[in-house]
């Protein structure tokens, strides 16, 4: 089973909520976009601090609502990107820079 599959709680009898959802942050043209992909929460702002507080408040309200309805076990599990995925992203390291410098001579 994938790490991202399943419920955000351990079981119906022991509803320990795993609330550690990653918040993805992007910046474009001076505006920040913060997202919690699994919960479909999005906030946009020119200020990162207030945007972060807003998305955390949205997440907290969603958890309160789900708890009130008895639906915590229906929330998706947090999906944390594997370290290997992060390392696989293309980037220009020092070895690439050195190689390019040597080939330019």
Q: pLDDT tens, 39-75? A: 999 999 999 999 999 999 999 999 999 999 999 889 9
Distance separating alpha carbons of residues 102 and 53, to the nearest angstrom: 48
Handedness of CA 28, 33, 36, 37 (dihedral sign): negative
The whole-chain average pLDDT of the chain stands at: 78
Mean pLDDT of 78-96: 60
Band of pLDDT at residue 14, cut at 50, 70 and 90: very low
pTM beyond 0.75? no
pLDDT, position 59: 94
CA distance 78 to 52: 18
């Amino acid at each position: 089973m994938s790490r991202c599959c399943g419920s955000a709680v351990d079981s119906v009898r022991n509803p320990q909520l795993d609330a550690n959802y990653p918040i993805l942050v992007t910046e474009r043209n001076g505006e920040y976009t913060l997202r919690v992909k699994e919960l479909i929460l999005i906030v946009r702002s020119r200020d990162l601090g207030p945007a972060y507080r807003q998305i955390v408040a949205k997440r907290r309200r969603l958890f309160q609502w789900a708890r009130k309805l008895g639906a915590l076990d229906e929330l998706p599990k947090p999906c944390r990107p594997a370290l290997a995925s992060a390392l696989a992203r293309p980037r220009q390291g020092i070895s690439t820079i050195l190689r390019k410098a040597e080939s330019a001579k």
